[in-house]
Chain A
Amino acid sequence: MNGVKYIISKEFARVFKDRKLVFSLFILPAVLMIGLYSLIGSLAGSMSKDIKEHVSTVYIQNVPEEIKSLIKTTGYDKLAKITYLQGNASNVDEIKDDILNGDAELLVIFDKNFSEDVKNFKTPSVTIGYNSAKDYSQNAYSTFNQVIANTYSQTVIAERIGGAEKLTVFKTVNEEIVKEDEKNGQFLAMLIPYLITFLIFASAMGIVTDAIAGEKERGTMARLLMTPVKRSHLAFGKLVSLSGLSIISAIVYAVSMALAMPMMMKTMTGGSTVGFAINFRTGQLLELVVLLVILAYLYVALISALSIRAKDVKTASTYVSPLYIVIMVAALMTMFTGSRDVDPLMHAIPVYGTALSVQKIMTNSLGVVEFLYSVAGNLVLAVLCTVSVTKSFCSEKIMFNA
C-alpha cells in the first residue's frame, strides 16, 4: 500500500505547490463568496433604505376635509409630496402616464360625495392608482393604505359602534412550543444541505477531471501504469487524494458561506440572526463530518468513473455534465421537503439521502437509523464506482484506446 501513500502525496503536491492553483481553488472562491454575499447584502440594504427614505409624489382628487386633516395629524404630508386636485381636474391621464414612467407614485381619487356617503352609511369608493412594477410606487401604495385608508376606516367604524375598544372581540396570546435548535437552524436547514451537496460536487468536478482525464490527455497516466504498483492501488490512491482535495475545497466554500451569510442577512434585516444560529454538539459535528467525507469520496469516485472513459478533460466535462444536473436536482429537492416526515429508507438514496440527513443535523433531529441508511447508501454506490474505476485502470481499451 506504499504506492497509495506516494500517489496521495503527489496529488496534494500537484495542487499545493502551484500557487495559481491554490489561489483559484481555495482563495478566489472564498474571496468571491464573501465579497458577493456582502455586496448582495449591502445592495439590498441600501435599496430598502432608499425606498423607505424616498418622498413619494402623490396626487389626491376630491379629498374630503376629514382625510385632509388626518393626513396632517398622522404626518403623512411629511412622507409624501401631495398635490390636491379639483373635482374636474383634466390632467388625470397625464398623472397616470407619470406613474407609468416612474415620475409619480400614487393617484388617489375619492368619490365626489365621499363624506356624505360615509355619513349616510353608503359605500363610496376610493380609487388608488399605483404601479406595481415600481418599488417606490408599491411602497407609496402600502404606506397610504396603512397610514390613511385603514386609520380612517377604523376611526369611522369606531365612531359608528361607539368606541374603538368594541372592535376587539378577543385577544390572542401566542405561546411558541418549539425546539430552540429547530427554530434557530430553520433557514440554514433549508439552504445548507443544498449548498453543501452541490458545492462539494462543483469543487470535485474540476479537480477530478483534470487528475484523471487530464493525465490521460497529457500522456502521464501511462507512466504511472508502467510502475510495479498495483493498478487497484493507483486507482485508490487517486480517489483518496482527490476526495481530500474536494473536501478542503468544500470546507473553504462552507466557511466562506458561514461567514458571508450572517453578514449579508444582518445588513438586509438590520441585525436579526433568527434562522441562522446553530449550536453544533460534538455528535452532530461528527455525523456531519462522516457524511461529508463519504459524500466527497462518492462524488470523486463517480466523476472518476466517467472521466476515465474520456480521452481529454473537455470530453470528461461533457460526460460529467448530466451528473452535475442530477446532483443539483437531488440537492434542490431537500429545499422543498419542509417539515413533513420522510421515510427513513429515503435516506439510503445516494446524495439525496445525505442532503436529507444534513438537513436534519441542522435542526438536531437526525436519528441513528437515518444516519446509518445515508452512510450505507452512499458507501454502496462509492464501492461500486471504485470497482469500476479500478477495472478501468486495468482496461487497455479505456486507458490506451486499444
Chain B
Amino acid sequence: MIEVNNLTKVYKLSKNEMAKRKTKKNIKCAASGITFTAKPGEIYGLLGPNGAGKTTTLRCIATLLTPTEGEVKVCGHDTVKEGEAVREDICFLTNEIKLDPFFSPRYLFDFFGHLHGLSEEAIEARRKELFGYFGIDAFEDKKIEELSTGMKQKAAIAVSLVQDPKVVIFDEPTSGLDVITAKSVTDFLAKLKKDGKTIIVSTHIMSEAEKLCDKIGVIIDGKLVTEGTISDIVGKCGTNDLEDAFFVLYRDNHKEEE
C-alpha cells in the first residue's frame, strides 16, 4: 500500500537554473498537495506531460527525495523517518537509474541481493525465477555494457526485483524499448499485479496507461488535477478516450510559467 498525503516538493533554484528556466522566482514547486492511495493488487498510473512532477512524486515515494510538506507512507512506513524499512519493501525502476556497465547481470543481482540482506540460497532461487522469466540466463555473465537496450532493461528489472518487493514503482517502464521487449515488460507488470504487489507506473503513453492501469492520476504543473478509473476520467471530461480526456485536462489546468 502506498499512501501519499498532501505531498509538496519545492526545489530551490540556483541563479544558473533561474537563467535557464527564464524565471525570476528562485523556487520551483515540482509537486503541490498531491494526495492519492495505491492499493495492493492494483496498478496506479501517473499521467502527465514532461516536467509535470511525476518523477518527483515517484522519487519522494522511493525515499530518494524528502517531501517539503506532507507525508508518504509505504507499507505503513514513513518514507522520511523509516527510509531503510521503506527501501526493503520497494523497487524503483527508472531510465535514470542504471546498472554498472562493468559488471554482469548475475554479479549485480547477487550484489544487490546481499545488500538487501538475502541469503545465498534465497538469491539463487530468486535469480533462477527472474532470469528464467526474462530469458536473462543466456547473457547473465556478459557485462552490462555489452548488452542491447532491451537486455539491459530486462536485467535492470530483474536486479530491482531481487528482494521480491511488495511495492513496485516504474517510471516510464517501456520508454526507449522495442515492441517485443516493451510487451514482455507490460506482461510482467500484469503478473506482478496478479501476485498482489502495489504498483505505480508513470507514463505519457496513453494506450499503455489504458491497457495497464486500474486507476489513473493526472498530474499537471505539479498538481494532481484528477484521479479515478479510466471510465471515471473519460466520463468527467466528456470525451471518447483517455488521450482526449488528457488534452482537455491539460488545456484547463496548464499555466505558462512566469
Could you say which residues of chain A place their CB within 8 Å of the CB of B85? 228
Q: Which residue of B lies closest to A220 (CB)?
A: B100
Chain A CB within 8 A of B188 CB: no
What's the least CB distance linking B101 to chain A, in Å?
Answer: 7
Q: Which of A10, A399, A402 contacts B11 (CB 8 A)?
A: A402
Q: Which residue of A lies closest to B100 (CB)?
A: A220
Contact at B115–A6, with CB atoms within 8 Å? Answer: yes
Chain B CB within 8 A of A219 CB: yes
Inter-chain CB contacts under 8 Å: number: 69
Chain B CB within 8 A of A396 CB: yes
Chain A CB within 8 A of B36 CB: no
Binds A, one of B61-69, B129-137, B247-255: B61-69
Contact at B115–A228, with CB atoms within 8 Å? Answer: yes
Could you say which residues of chain A place their CB within 8 Å of the CB of B102? 14, 17-18
Chain A CB within 8 A of B84 CB: yes
User: In the docked arrangement, what's the CA distance between A3 and B92, Å?
Assistant: 19
Chain A CB within 8 A of B112 CB: yes
User: In the docked arrangement, what's the CA distance between A14 and B103, Å?
Assistant: 7
The majority secondary structure among interface residues of chain A is helix
Could you say which residues of chain B place their CB within 8 Å of the CB of A399? 64
User: In the docked arrangement, what's the CA distance between A218 and B101, Å?
Assistant: 8
User: In the docked arrangement, what's the CA distance between A218 and B145, Å?
Assistant: 11
User: In the docked arrangement, what's the CA distance between A229 and B98, Å?
Assistant: 18
Q: Which residue of A lies closest to B56 (CB)?
A: A402
Q: Which of B11, B87, B90, B98 contacts A218 (CB 8 A)?
A: B98
Q: Which of B99, B100, B107, B112 contacts A227 (CB 8 A)?
A: B112
User: In the docked arrangement, what's the CA distance between A223 and B107, Å?
Assistant: 15
User: In the docked arrangement, what's the CA distance between A228 and B84, Å?
Assistant: 4
Contact at B64–A228, with CB atoms within 8 Å? Answer: no
Could you say which residues of chain B place their CB within 8 Å of the CB of A222? 64, 96-97
Q: Which residue of A lies closest to B66 (CB)?
A: A396
What's the least CB distance linking A116 to chain B, in Å?
Answer: 87
Could you say which residues of chain B place their CB within 8 Å of the CB of A13? 103, 107
Could you say which residues of chain B place their CB within 8 Å of the CB of A18? 102
| Most chain B beta-carbon contacts within 10 A, residue among A17, A226, A229, A402 | A226
Contact at B11–A228, with CB atoms within 8 Å? Answer: no
What's the least CB distance linking B239 to chain A, in Å?
Answer: 35
Residues of A216-255 at the interface with B, using a CB-CB cut-off of 8 Å, are 218-220, 222-230
- Give the size of the chain B interface in residues (CB under 8 angstroms): 30
Q: Which residue of A lies closest to B86 (CB)?
A: A228
Residues of A185-236 at the interface with B, using a CB-CB cut-off of 8 Å, are 215, 218-220, 222-230
Chain B CB within 8 A of A2 CB: yes
Chain B CB within 8 A of A400 CB: yes
Q: Which residue of A lies closest to B104 (CB)?
A: A17
Q: Which of A3, A215, A230, A400 contacts B64 (CB 8 A)?
A: A400
User: In the docked arrangement, what's the CA distance between A2 and B115, Å?
Assistant: 8
Contact at B97–A226, with CB atoms within 8 Å? Answer: yes
Q: Which residue of A lies closest to B97 (CB)?
A: A222
Residues of B108-134 at the interface with A, using a CB-CB cut-off of 8 Å, are 111-112, 114-117
What's the least CB distance linking A299 to chain B, in Å?
Answer: 23
Contact at B117–A228, with CB atoms within 8 Å? Answer: yes
Residues of B21-59 at the interface with A, using a CB-CB cut-off of 8 Å, are 59
Residues of A361-402 at the interface with B, using a CB-CB cut-off of 8 Å, are 396, 399-400, 402
| Most chain B beta-carbon contacts within 10 A, residue among A215, A399, A402 | A402
What's the least CB distance linking A373 to chain B, in Å?
Answer: 39
| Most chain B beta-carbon contacts within 10 A, residue among A13, A228, A400 | A228
Contact at B65–A3, with CB atoms within 8 Å? Answer: no
Chain A CB within 8 A of B88 CB: yes
Q: Which residues of A contact B (CB under 8 A)?
A: 2-3, 6, 10, 13-14, 17-18, 215, 218-220, 222-230, 396, 399-400, 402
Beyond A222-B64, A226-B97, A229-B84, 4 additional contacts (C-beta under 8 Å) are A14-B100, A226-B90, A227-B116, A228-B87
14 A-B pairs (CB sep. < 8 Å): A6-B114, A17-B103, A219-B98, A220-B100, A222-B96, A223-B98, A223-B99, A223-B160, A226-B63, A226-B64, A226-B97, A227-B115, A228-B88, A400-B64
